Structure 1
Amino acid sequence: MLREATTDDVNLMLSWRNQETNRQVSKTSHEITAAEHAAWWSRVRTDPTRRVLIYLHDDRPAGVVTFFDLRQDGPQRTASWGFYLDADGLAGRGATLPAWLGVMRAAVDHAFDVLALDRLDGEVLADNTVVRQMNRRFRFVEGTGRRETHDGREITVVPISLNRDNRRRR
């Protein structure tokens, strides 16, 4: 289940985002400061092209889903998305895989059923083979990777997309 993020969630979101597991698979790999995070929150919470949602697993906050570059007018309704989980907390409870499947399902459902998108876009690091496999399981299609430099490291970023018609239904 997803719910709107609130100011009460800001510190929790920052603690999850700064977990080593999440930083390793993100374009931005440095530890996010409280000031950086507060500036981000200030921007996104009033931006009509963005949505920040909290993922609940077993009725407990367990992750963040963001939708951005939301285009809901025009011939094709699109957005980009990303997510991260409370990797440490879920691992400690033995709930990583069920939460991961759950957040992917919830995000895809939200994109197509709530936001009424035609296409959902995203990115994944090329060396994140586990996420790439999961994306394929959910029928995301990969584009051609591109080299980028972030936080002093060279990475290959692979674009992904999922069209409404190709979505896996439960």
Structure 2
Amino acid sequence: MYTRHEIGAEEHLAWFERVRHDESRHAMIFEIDHQPIGFVQFSVVDVKAGRADWGFYLAPDAPRGSGYQLGESALTHAFGQLLLHKVCGEALAFNERSIRFHERLGFTKEASLRDHHFDGETYHDVVGFGLLSAEWNERKEAKCP
């Protein structure tokens, strides 16, 4: 989200080596019909509290609606298998699509961080989101009576 330059293979590999050996990070590839179309990562920032930050990317040519599928699958994993209590996310304030995505998944806006990110030329506001396990479970129960 905060990277502006194109990330090359060497930088990707170095990142992967760091993540692979970091037990606080859970990195996953999202597939539809055995085709990788997205990536999700949970970074546990407070083990005792069960709180993690998440990040995700979807391939530019991913089928319509697959972003929501990625979010649903990832959050089901976060609260079901990782047993997290809270997942936190961020979106640049001008990224209305990401903001709507978080809200559609049930996240609550918890922060408005003014001039929080400097991209080398301009400062940008960032919106902070949070989703609790109990809220996620309530949403799931409401969908499946």
**Aligned counterpart, 1:39:** 14
Contact persistence 1:49–1:71 (CA under 8 A) = no
Task: Give the superposition deviation at 1:151.
Answer: 4.3
For residues 69-99 of structure 1, what are the alpha-carbon distances to aligned partners after superposition, in whole Å with 9 as ceiling and x for unaligned?
3533x2x2111111001113x2xxxx122x1
For residues 11-40 of structure 1, what are the alpha-carbon distances to aligned partners after superposition, in whole Å with 9 as ceiling and x for unaligned?
xxxxxxxxxxxxxxx221211122221211
**Aligned counterpart, 1:134:** 101
Q: Is the helix fraction higher in 1 or 2?
A: 1
Cα-Cα RMSD: 1.5
**Aligned counterpart, 1:82:** 55
Q: What SS does the corresponding residue of 1:127 show, helix, strand or coil?
A: coil
For residues 39-75 of structure 1, what are the alpha-carbon distances to aligned partners after superposition, in whole Å with 9 as ceiling and x for unaligned?
1111000001101100011331111001113533x2x
TM-score (norm 2): 0.86
Larger RCO: Structure 1 or Structure 2 (Cα < 8 Å, ≥ 6 residues apart)? 1
**Aligned counterpart, 2:129:** 160
Q: What SS does the corresponding residue of 2:111 show, helix, strand or coil?
A: coil
CA distance in 1, matches of 2:34, 2:111: 38
**Aligned counterpart, 1:65:** 40
CA distance in 2, matches of 1:151, 1:61: 32
2:78 is matched with which residue: 105, 108, 111? 111
**Structure 2 unaligned residues grouped into runs of 5+:** none
For residues 83-130 of structure 1, what are the alpha-carbon distances to aligned partners after superposition, in whole Å with 9 as ceiling and x for unaligned?
001113x2xxxx122x11110101110110010001011111111112
TM-score (norm 1): 0.74
Q: What SS does the corresponding residue of 1:123 show, helix, strand or coil?
A: strand
**Aligned counterpart, 1:22:** none
1:54 aligned onto 2:22: no
Q: What SS does the corresponding residue of 2:87 show, helix, strand or coil?
A: strand
Q: Which amino acid is 1:155 matched to?
A: H
**Aligned counterpart, 1:96:** 64
